[in-house]
Amino acid sequence: MNARLDNSVIRACQKGDKAALAVLVKGYYQGVFALCLGMLGNVHDAEDATQEAMLKGLARIKKLRKSDQFEPWILQIARNLCIDFLRRRKRIRAPGVKEPRLSDSHNSDHDDLERAIRRLPQELRVPLTMFYFNGKNAKTIADKLNISHSGACQKIREARRQLHELLTERTDDEQRL
Amino acid sequence: MNSDCEKMKDQIADLVTGILSEAQTQKLQQHLAQCTACRDYARALRNEDIFLTVFVETMETDMTRHQERLLQAIDLSYQSRNNEPLLIWRTIMKSPIIKLAAAAVVIVVVILGLFEFVKTESTSGVVWAEVVRKVGASRGLIVRCTDLSPSNEDDYSITYTSSKYCRKDFYKDGQIIRTCYVDFTASDTATLIDVFHTHKLHVTAKYKKSENGLFLEWRDDWTNPRFLVQRILSAEHSKLGQKTIEGVLCEGIETTDPACFGPLPEQINNLQVEFRLWVSAETGYPVLYESKMSGESEGQMWELEYVMDQFQWDVELGPDIFEPNIPPDYEGVTRPGIVGL
């Protein structure tokens, strides 16, 4: 999105323009969802966290001083919510309870992939999901995560390598059975 | 796979992910041409890349549903707030698409004001009762509105209104960046299509009359500046005498009385208004309207300043101009349900 034009939409939202809110939701929902999915590791939790983050952000949008800072601001809100969510989940989940799947997909390829993504460490899962939800643009991910371009590439590379190992390990296990 | 191949794994991952430099890609391709193990590894990563892409695309198809759910939740949260009157008022006054509608809020006051006014004898060249009659009888109207508020982004807007439809084009650097179409033909709702050309997106929403009686006159008059005259005359006002505006001899009136808005939400403090209207002495139609407002709500100061000029009164506006013109490559969003103002 064009930052200058985004500013006009954000300012319209700050004035209470509901049509502009829809534009903002359309423009930023996916980015927030990608971050939440990366942090939480399953689609349902990520949906809830995204909804909550967007609602919280839009309710407070008048307090946003710099309209060009909307994206880092809403991502920070989402990040904080995810951290809270993970803390709560840790407390609630009893030992031995099966981890939920990423989504309700019944496609076995998807299931394998989802499980593997979920087993990645969070610091790799976040850049990986954001990378694939943002048109595979490492520079965008670097900006969003406030890290260097080479740092983003390194994380994506490591995520892909570990993901391959997790997927291969599963296949090997199945073959042994 | 030898030790060299282990070192190549990073590059293969980068190649498949599309982040490997061109020089490194060439070097790697040479290696892949000779090494079966690395080729297999690259093939496996490519397959996984496809799975990941499909996985994301699958979720993206659900995104619209999620967004609609979120917009519904936003509407609900708006409706459940106690300060709804404030939101209504803000929407009226601050939304670029509804700024012109403010006059409709004061319909009761307007009527009272009109009665008061009609009894008043005019001593100037402009017969104000005739101004009210003429603007009220105007079929179609075209007007330019320049928002001078500090936070405004567009340069100006051009509004076209008839008794049943309204269209507003927002201009920036000579280009239309946004167009709003409003259809008032339904009895209790108005349909608004907001086209954001800069984002290739259009948003459709239905608005209802608010329960506390605001927008009673929506269907016919909500964006019609004819009420500007009545608004000023309904409050304490003074005459400004004559002056020439772009070669036209005009007479003006002014008010600084916030009562011209009628009852206001309690949350608005220190409301100050300054409205000036200039009417052609020859035609009896308004030619310039200057408006300044400021106030405080939720501890925050705000101010609005706008100018309406280039009026074209009583013009015939064909239906084509109000027909939403949305290019086929624009994405559409429909706000579910009916949005309360």
- Domain boundary among the residues A41, A72, A100 is at A100
Cβ separation A153–B55 shorter than 8 A: no
> Rounded to an integer, what distance in angstroms lies between the CA atom of residue A64 and that of residue A57?
9
Which structure tokens are listed for B100?
């012109």
Asked whether the beta carbons of B194 and B186 are under 8 A apart, the reply is no
- Residue B272's pLDDT band, with cuts at 50, 70 and 90, is confident
Same domain, B292 and B157: yes
The model's confidence at residue B336, banded by pLDDT at 50, 70 and 90, is low
Q: Is B296 exposed, middle or buried (0-12, 13-18, 19+ CB in 10 A)?
A: middle
Does A13 share its domain with A48?
yes
- Residues B195 and B50 both lie in one domain: no
A 70-89 residues with CB < 8 A to B: none
Angle at B338 between CA B333 and CA B341, to 5 degrees: 105
Cα(A148)–Cα(A143) distance, integer angstroms: 8
Question: Does the model's pTM come out above 0.80?
Answer: no
**pLDDT at residue B78, rounded to an integer:** 60
Residues B39 and B180 placed together within one structural domain of the fold = no
- For residues B156 and B174, is the Cβ–Cβ distance under 8 A? no
Pick from A5, A103, A133: CB nearest B198: A5
Where among A65, A82, A100 does a domain terminate? Answer: A100
pLDDT digits (tens, 9 = 90+) for B136-175: 788 888 999 888 876 667 888 898 888 788 898 999 889 9
Whether residues A3 and A68 fall in one domain: yes
User: For residue A162, what is the nearest residue in chain B, using CA coordinates?
Assistant: B13
Q: How confident is the model at residue B321 (pLDDT cuts 50, 70, 90)?
A: very high
Does residue B329 or residue A174 have the better pLDDT?
B329
Nearest residue of chain B to residue A51 (CA atoms) = B70
What tokens appear for A106 in the block? 């019944």
Q: B16 — contact with chain A (CB < 8 Å)?
A: yes
In terms of residue numbers, what domain contains A72?
A: 1-100
Do A93 and A32 share a structural domain? Answer: yes
A91 lies in the same domain as A129? no
Selected residue with higher pLDDT from A172 and A152: A152
B17 interfacial to chain A (CB closer than 8 Å): yes
Q: In chain A, which residue's Cα lies nearest the Cα of B75? A: A18
Q: What is the pLDDT of residue B2?
A: 63
Q: How far from B335 is each of A48, B69, B332, B341, CA to CA, in Å?
A: 20, 9, 10, 14
> B281 or A17: which carries more pLDDT confidence?
B281
pLDDT on residue B225 = 67
Q: Which long-range contacts does B232-236 make (Cβ < 8 Å, 24+ apart)?
A: B232/B260, B232/B275, B232/B277, B233/B113, B233/B114, B233/B116, B233/B117, B233/B128, B233/B132, B234/B106, B234/B109, B234/B110, B234/B112, B234/B113, B234/B114, B234/B116, B234/B117, B234/B260, B235/B109, B235/B113, B235/B259, B235/B260
pLDDT of residue B251: 92
CA separation (Å) from B167 to B20, B140, B160, B319, B334? 50, 11, 5, 11, 19
Statement to judge: residues A31 and A57 lie in one domain: yes
Cβ-Cβ contacts under 8 Å for A33 (sequence gap 6 or more): A46, A47, A50, A133, B59, B63, B66
Residues A9-54: tens digit of each pLDDT: 888 888 777 778 888 888 899 999 999 999 998 888 888 899 889 9
- Do residue B165 and residue B295 come from a single domain? yes
Chain centroid offset of residue B24 CA? 50
Closest residue in B to A163 (Cα–Cα): B48
Contact flag A51-B45 (C-beta cutoff 8 Å): no
Percent with pLDDT over 90 in chain A? 27
Residues in A touching B69 (Cβ below 8 Å): 51
In this prediction, what percent of chain B has a pLDDT beyond 70? 72
A vs B, Cβ pairs < 8 A, gives: 148
Q: Considering the domain boundaries, does residue B321 fall inside one?
A: yes
Residues A168 and A108 reside in one and the same domain: yes
Name residue B140's beta-bridge partners.
Answer: B315
* Measured distance CA(B157)–CA(B164) in Å, rounded: 20
Which pLDDT belongs to residue B69?
77
Given this model, what pLDDT does residue A156 score?
92
State the pLDDT at residue B66. Answer: 81
Judge if B168 and B309 occupy the same domain: yes
Q: How many CB atoms lie within 10 A of CB B82?
A: 7
User: Do A92 and A126 belong to one domain?
Assistant: no
Q: Is B39 in the same domain as B177?
A: no
The whole-number pLDDT of residue A130 equals: 92
Measured between beta carbons, the chain A residues lying within 8 angstroms of B196 are 9, 23
In a domain, B281, yes or no: yes
Indicate whether B280 belongs to any domain: yes
DSSP H or E run through B137 = helix B128-137
Is pLDDT at B73 greater than 50 in this prediction? yes
Average per-residue pLDDT for chain B: 74
CATH of residue A33 = 1.10.1740.10
One domain, residues B29 and B87? no
What amino acid occupies position A161? R
pLDDT at A103: 47
Q: Are residues A58 and A133 in the same domain?
A: no
Count of H-run helices and E-run strands, chain B = 8, 12
- DSSP for residue B220: H
Question: CATH code at A159?
Answer: 1.10.10.10
Q: Would B70 be classed as within a structural domain?
A: no
Only one residue has tokens 């990040």, namely A79
Residue B220 lies in a domain: yes
Closest CA to B99 of B170, B196, B3: B170
Residues in chain B closer than 8 A to A109 (CB atoms): 51
Query: Which one has a higher pLDDT value, B159 or A8?
Result: B159
**What average pLDDT does range B180-198 have in this prediction?**
81
What are the beta bridge partners of residue B241? B252
Domain limit, last residue, from A84, A100, A116 = A100
Which of A18, A40, A45 is most worth mutating to test chain B (most B CB atoms within 10 A of its CB)? A18
Q: Of the ranges A119-128, B22-31, B77-86, which one carries the lowest mean pLDDT score?
A: B77-86
Q: Is the pLDDT of residue B213 over 50?
A: no
**Nearest alpha-carbon partner for A30 in A133, A136, A103, A129:** A133
Decide: A164 and A171 in contact? Cβ < 8 Å: no
Number of domains forming the structure of chain A: 2
Q: B23 CB near a chain A CB, below 8 Å?
A: no
Smallest Cβ distance to B300: which of A21, A62, A109? A62
Judge if A83 and A155 occupy the same domain: no
Q: Is the pLDDT of residue B218 over 90?
A: no
Which residue spans within chain B are E strands per DSSP? 140-147, 156-161, 165-172, 175-183, 189-196, 201-208, 238-245, 248-255, 269-280, 286-297, 300-315, 331-340
Same domain, B55 and B178: no
Q: Which of A11-25, A127-141, B173-187 has the lowest mean pLDDT?
A: A11-25
Per the DSSP assignment, residues forming a β-bridge with B176 are B171
Give the highest mean pLDDT range of A168-172, B24-28, B267-271.
B24-28
Sequence-ordered list of residues with C-beta below 8 angstroms from that of B76, at least 6 positions apart, any chain: none
Sign of the C-alpha dihedral, residues B210, B216, B222, B225?
A: negative
Residues A91 and A170 in one domain: no
Given CB atoms, is A30 within the 8 Å cutoff of chain B?
Answer: yes
What pLDDT band is residue B86 in, cutting at 50, 70 and 90? very low
CB A105 to CB B58 under 8 A?
A: yes
How far is Cα A50 from Cα A29, in angstroms, rounded to an integer?
Answer: 7
> With 60 as the cut, is the pLDDT of residue B122 above it?
no
Question: In chain B, which among 165-224 make CB contacts under 8 A with chain A?
Answer: 172, 177, 180, 192, 194, 196, 198-199, 201, 203, 205
Partner residue facing B59 (CB), from A5, A43, A58: A43
Question: Is B78 among the domain residues?
Answer: no
Q: How far is the C-alpha of B17 from the C-alpha of B39, rounded, in Å? A: 15
Over 50: is that where the pLDDT of B88 sits?
no
Q: At what angle do helices B36-80 and A122-133 cross, to 10 degrees?
A: 80
All residues of chain B having their beta carbon less than 8 Å from the beta carbon of residue A13 are none
Clarify whether residues A12 and A82 are in a common domain.
yes
Are A51 and B66 an interchain contact pair (Cβ–Cβ within 8 Å)? Answer: yes
Which pLDDT belongs to residue A120? 93
B54 and B93 assigned to the same domain? no
Q: Is residue B77 part of a domain?
A: no
Scored b (16 or more CB within 10 A) or e, B200-225 reads ebbbbbbbbbbeeebbebbbebbbbb
Question: What is the rounded CA–CA span in Å between residue B202 and residue B333?
Answer: 6
Q: Which two tokens stand for residue B143?
A: 């007007």
| Percentage of residues in chain B having pLDDT higher than 90 | 9
Q: With an 8 Å Cβ cutoff, are B44 and A168 in contact?
A: yes
**B22 shares a domain with B149:** no
Do B295 and B147 lie in one domain? The reply is yes
Quick check: A124 pLDDT over 90? yes
What's the CA gap between A164 and B234, in Å, rounded?
75
Residue B294: per-residue pLDDT: 83
User: Pick the residue with more confidence: B312 or B214?
Assistant: B312
What's residue B169's pLDDT? 92
The residue range of the domain holding B26 is: 3-60
Say if residue A65 is in the same domain as residue A119. Answer: no
- The count of domains in chain B is 2
Q: B21-35, B197-211, B269-283: which range is least confident on average?
A: B197-211
